[in-house]
Amino acid sequence: MRITHRIGGKAWDGVTSRSGDVYDPATGRVAAQVDFASSSTVDGAVEAAGSAFASWRDTSLARRANVMFAFRELLNARKDELAAIVTAEHGKVLSDAAGEVQRGLEAVEFACGIPHLLKGGFSENASTRVDVYSIQQPLGVVGVISPFNFPAMVPLWFVPNAIACGNTVVLKPSEKDPSAAVFIADLFAEAGLPDGVLNVVHGDKEAVDRILEHPDVKAVSFVGSTPIARYVYETGTRHGKRVQALGGAKNHMVVLPDADLDLAADAAVSAGFGSAGERCMAISVVVAVDPVGDELVAKVKDRIARLHVGDGRRPGCEMGPLVTGAHRDKVVSYVDAGVTEGAALVVDGRGHPIDGEADGFWLGPTLFDHVGTDMSIYRDEIFGPVLSVLRVATYDDAVEVVNANRYGNGTAIFTNDGGAARRFQNEIEVGMVGVNVPIPVPVAYYSFGGWKDSLFGDSHAYGPEGVHFFTRTKVVTGRWLDPSHGGVNLGFPQNT
């Protein structure tokens, strides 16, 4: 099968010079080839988006909202199909893929309220018989570049808001699982979105670089690993664009001595191994405050033994394979590194039973205890099913560890002490905080974003900050002629 670009409302019919393999991670077999866009193919997509912008920006809010409502209905009706596409190319189990689509739907529902969201301010009589009002206008063509781990949800974080605000979009999904983006673009077309408003180009660095350099692309929303996020931010802003670039993570879950340890163990296993740890909000470090370490590790170990790992399409599977063989091998190399560096390997995922074909990209859930902050398994984002337990003596030590980490995407505290939780939310240098909630992804009417090396730029994704990112504000100061005009006055305008 061949997967190609969608430009100007049509499947691209050119001949590609480069393409990539798309795998079924549960079998290890190549399922499709995806075309990689050259710079000139990206130019074609930007041109299509640029041509569509003139009329889309002037399409009424009511009509734009209608497209969004129609899209919402179609997506809701076909969400199982989209989830199946995600599972086939990413590997996460079907129920998890369905969860990702559902969170994407919430972002669509937020964008359905665009007439309300774009209301500006109005000040009557700011000066005598002078009215001042603000309007939010679209930017033009915007680029959206998404990672492999949420092939449906991350495009849906950005595309509905960008379009609803009146922009036109060039979406570059991950080349590892590109079909979800194509499905979304086709549904938008069915919902009545005019040709050229949403274009999809596939590819790698060449396509991304052209988006970052193209003079007609006004803004870029990026989600991916920290080194690429930093590169995208620096390159895009150097080319005069507005950029929000969300990066990697190392999310800590702090467990205080008064916590419900069964709840904490359930949460650590769910958030550590869901989607095989390939979530930017996965918990990868449990910070156990003395004396809970031994008991908590025993409870986590016990739960891991019962996890059903296998092909995400098979009933009962809770955790699927990793996305590619290369990524699985990289994650396994961290398991070796952890042992070499002296951490205690409590559960070795390489021995976990697998309910799937032997050539799938498998690694079972892995647990390290007594991890030190100098070890690579702690310092690096592994992005796989490897959970580290760090032991500290006090609450203050736990906060110090989290705040010293270069990442600041998500964190959670498990405690029954409201005062401690309140201190934690105040003191912790992380953008999204959970209190007895391990994966605190904000609902669609708030905004999503980490701190420190987890986000470059000053706008978080979706919600109110998403609308802010995709619009620029204009302030109009107006006076209709009346007999009171006072002739020439070279002084600076004062409000009287």
Handedness of CA 70, 95, 465, 419 (dihedral sign): positive
70 vs 332 by CB, closer to ligand NAD: 332
CB of 147 to ligand NAD, least distance (A): 3
225 in contact with ligand NAD (CB under 6 A): yes
- Report in angstroms the alpha-carbon separations of 144 from 141, 172, 248, 490: 10, 6, 17, 46
CB of 277 to ligand NAD, least distance (A): 10
CB of 225 to ligand NAD, least distance (A): 4
Q: Please tell me the distance from the alpha carbon of residue 357 to that of residue 43, in angstroms, as a whole number.
A: 42
- Report in angstroms the alpha-carbon separations of 391 from 257, 372, 434: 12, 9, 20
**Tokens for 391?**
């032991």
Site string for ligand NAD, 278-317 (x = CB under 6 A): --x-------------------------------------
186 vs 213 by CB, closer to ligand NAD: 213
Site string for ligand NAD, 95-134 (x = CB under 6 A): ----------------------------------------
Which of 147, 293, 360, 463 contacts ligand NAD by CB under 6 A? 147
244 vs 415 by CB, closer to ligand NAD: 244
Which of 381, 388, 415, 453 contacts ligand NAD by CB under 6 A? 381
Q: Give Dmax over CA atoms of the chain in angstroms.
A: 88
With beta carbons less than 8 A apart as the criterion, state whether 3 and 151 touch. Answer: no
Which of 27, 41, 174, 284 contacts ligand NAD by CB under 6 A? 174
205 in contact with ligand NAD (CB under 6 A): yes
368 in contact with ligand NAD (CB under 6 A): no
7 vs 280 by CB, closer to ligand NAD: 280
Print burial letters for 217-235: b (CB count within 10 Å at least 16), e (below 16): bbbbbbbbebebbebbbeb
Site for ligand NAD in 431-470 (CB under 6 A): 450, 454
Q: Please tell me the distance from the alpha carbon of residue 139 to that of residue 221, in angstroms, as a whole number.
A: 13
Query: Which residue lies nearest ligand NAD, judged by its C-beta?
Result: 224
Q: Please tell me the distance from the alpha carbon of residue 186 to that of residue 74, in angstroms, as a whole number.
A: 10
Name which of 245, 233, 279 is nearest 99 in CA terms: 279
> What residues act catalytically?
280
Interface residue list for ligand NAD (CB under 6 A)? 145-150, 154, 172, 174-175, 204-205, 208, 223-225, 228, 246-249, 280, 381, 383, 409, 450, 454
